[in-house]
Chain A
Amino acid sequence: MSSSASVVKSVPAFDRSPPVESAHPPAAPAPQAAAGVHPAFSPHWQGLLATLAWVALAAVTLAWPNAPAGFEDWAYTTEFGIATAVFAAAWALLTLAASVPAAHDTFLARPVAAFRHTAPWIVATGLIFAAWEILTAKTGRLPPPFFAPPSSMIDVYVSDYARLADSTFNSVRLLLEGVAWGTFIGFSIGVAIGWSRAMNYWIHPILRFLGPLPPTALLPIAFFFFPSSHAASVFLIALATGFPVAILTWSGIASVNKAYYDVARTMGASDWFLIFRVAIPAALPQVFVGLFMGLGSSFVVLIVAEMMGVKSGLGWYLTWAQGYASYTNMYGALIVMTVIFSSLISLLFAVRDRVLVWQKGIVKW
């Protein structure tokens, strides 16, 4: 009696354990005892819900006729419906696979846990897409030309692929060029004024005086003085990135614990060593804060510069689409922009996580 009671108890305990935990079973071999009572199948309810959400999206898209718009009809409605149906089917299969208990014990444990973790977001996106499709194509509550259904994004990417790709490429190139210069110069200035009194005396007031000026305010002057709008934009993006990088690098270097220098100096460190092996590594966490701020403001300058003068790029594409009142293309470009900018930020996070591994455990990220 008592032994069967303990067996019954252990089953729900296993079932309820959160996915992340099941990916790292406790080091003690205790779970071995529970192995005999693995439930044959532990359905992953959230995965099921996600599947249902996407089935609903597919059904709405395919079965509900589009409301008559002022023109022929929204393109790619059927294709969008089929794509969402395929996604729902694939998700259903994965959910099924992740529900097999054995999947938690193999090398698949990690991907399975990650998969289960994303399920709530898949539910949410399915519902958002469905609402979006209903409000635009199906009922026309959000009317064209100012609004467009998600299916019409496919239209934009298929029909205007070349122009969008070209604009994207030009934007990314311009941005990276400006950010690279800004980072390099801002960092160098920050180190210089953080380290040298003379540099600090001359450069710091200039930074304090000119820094708060938004680089976009300089657009007209920059376009006038620089030989090309490209060069002017690189300058302004570099300015936008460089200012926060310089200020935070400087404050990082200025706040390095003096005891670190004492330790290094008693061991025979040269000035070069004190700068590059003590001051800069110690200041790097602050430098990254500056980089995040700088990257953020570089996006603003990039888009404004492209809207005002540069004859290519995503900002230019936005103005161009607006000129033709093709708001669908604008949404398409906005989505591309979002993806690119958030990827760049994620990339910077990844770089920081690598460079500053040592901070893990000291500060909470």
Chain B
Amino acid sequence: MVAAALRTVPPPHSVPATNHASHIHIEHVSHGFESPAGEFLPVLEDVSLEIAPGEFVALLGPSGCGKSTLLRLVAGLEPATQGTITQDGTTITRPDPSRIVAFQDPTLFPWRTVWDNVALGPQAQGRLKANKASVEAALCKVGLEGFAKSYPHQLSGGMAQRAALARALVNDPKVLILDEPLGKLDSLTRLEMQSELVSLWRKNGFSVLLVTHDVEEALFLAQRVVIFSPRPAKIVGELSIERPYPRHRDDPTLTALRREVLDRLGLGKSW
């Protein structure tokens, strides 16, 4: 009896909804860019996706297909060419601190110390004075409390990514948008941070939209994995992973699902 069901279109996942998580609804979104030559480059094609409050959704797809672009649209950094994206029923038109993005590059501000980088959100929202403790706490969560006074160029690639994660977490978001947040970590720290991410999510209850290249990571973390085609990105499949947390990496169900995911990505034969 396999507990995980494989469905192509699952209902929004049932997670104890907190008032601290948002419902994100992506409706028929298409998007593209004007090339310098004046040609239109389609990047997203009729993408519809719903993220229930508190749900953890992972996006998988080939490089360059448009995952980061979709995240930018959800963040509100750009308007979609077509279609709408709503947060709790309200159309997203501009960025908001309730939707925090950890970008693919850490993009720490080089002129700020690690502490000041993590404090960016509270400072921008004018509530730093009351939130100094949460800055410290976020630094501890990612294990950088000893580097509060360092400048970004004094950090390793992995440490910079952890700092960027702390900078996101300190905002207490309702939706956490993560663009390969663990991509630059060494494999050990990566495993550690994955577990940390799961416990943070379970504790805080926010919704998570995670882009990753790592199939195992997606299966270990997410309740639902959405698979994209090469550019222009279309959703080609969704898998529900109904396994309880904390998960075990050698869970045979996950191993079976991994095969399935690789198949959908067109890598089934090479496995």
Chain A residues packing against B (C-beta within 8 Å):
257, 259-260, 262-270, 273, 277-278, 281-282, 284, 356-359, 361-362
Contacts and interface: CB of A to CB of B under 8 A. Distances in A.
Contacts of A362: 110, 153
B126 to A, nearest CB: 9
B124 A267 contact: yes
B179 to A, nearest CB: 11
Nearest to B99: A266
Nearest to A263: B107
Given A259-B107, A262-B103, A358-B151, A267 B125 contact: yes
Contact of B77 (A262, A269, A278, A357): A262
Contact of A268 (B113, B125, B167): B125
A263 B151 contact: no
Contacts of A268: 95-97, 121, 124-125
A361 B120 CA distance: 23
Contacts of A357: 151
Given A262-B77, A361-B153, A267 B121 contact: yes
Contact of A277 (B97, B123, B151): B123
A270 B110 contact: no
A357 B101 CA distance: 28
**Residue among A263, A269, A270 with max Cβ neighbours from chain B (10 Å):** A263
A358 B121 contact: no
Contact of A270 (B75, B100, B124): B124
Contacts of A266: 75-77, 95-97, 99-101
B259 to A, nearest CB: 36
Contact residues of B: prevailing secondary structure:
loop
Nearest to B97: A268
B263 interface: no
Given A257-B107, A260-B109, A358-B153, 20 more contacts: A259-B103, A262-B72, A263-B107, A263-B120, A263-B167, A264-B120, A264-B124, A266-B95, A266-B96, A267-B100, A267-B167, A268-B96, A269-B124, A273-B124, A281-B111, A358-B110, A358-B151, A361-B151, A362-B110, A362-B153
Interface in B164-207: 167, 171
23 contacts: A257-B107, A260-B107, A260-B109, A263-B107, A265-B95, A266-B77, A266-B95, A267-B95, A267-B120, A267-B125, A268-B95, A268-B125, A269-B124, A270-B124, A278-B109, A281-B109, A281-B111, A282-B109, A282-B111, A357-B151, A359-B110, A359-B111, A361-B154
B28 interface: no
Contacts of B216: none
Q: Which of the four size classes fits the interface of chain B?
A: 20 to 34
**Residue among B110, B121, B167 with max Cβ neighbours from chain A (10 Å):** B110
Interface string B60-89: 000000000000100111000000000000
Nearest to A273: B124
A283 to B, nearest CB: 10
Contacts of A265: 77, 94-95
A358 B75 contact: no
A360 to B, nearest CB: 8
Contacts of A358: 110-113, 151, 153
Please name the 9 residue pairs, one residue from A and one from B, whose CB atoms are nearest each other, closest first. Answer: A268-B97, A267-B121, A269-B124, A266-B95, A265-B95, A259-B107, A358-B111, A268-B125, A281-B111
**Residue among B111, B120, B151, B153 with max Cβ neighbours from chain A (10 Å):** B111
B212 to A, nearest CB: 19
Nearest to B154: A361
**Residue among A265, A357, A362 with max Cβ neighbours from chain B (10 Å):** A265
A146 to B, nearest CB: 52
Contacts of A281: 109, 111-112
Given A278-B109, A282-B109, A358-B111, A263 B171 contact: no
A267 B76 CA distance: 11
A314 B12 CA distance: 80
A284 B107 contact: no
B214 interface: no
A262 B75 CA distance: 10
A27 to B, nearest CB: 18
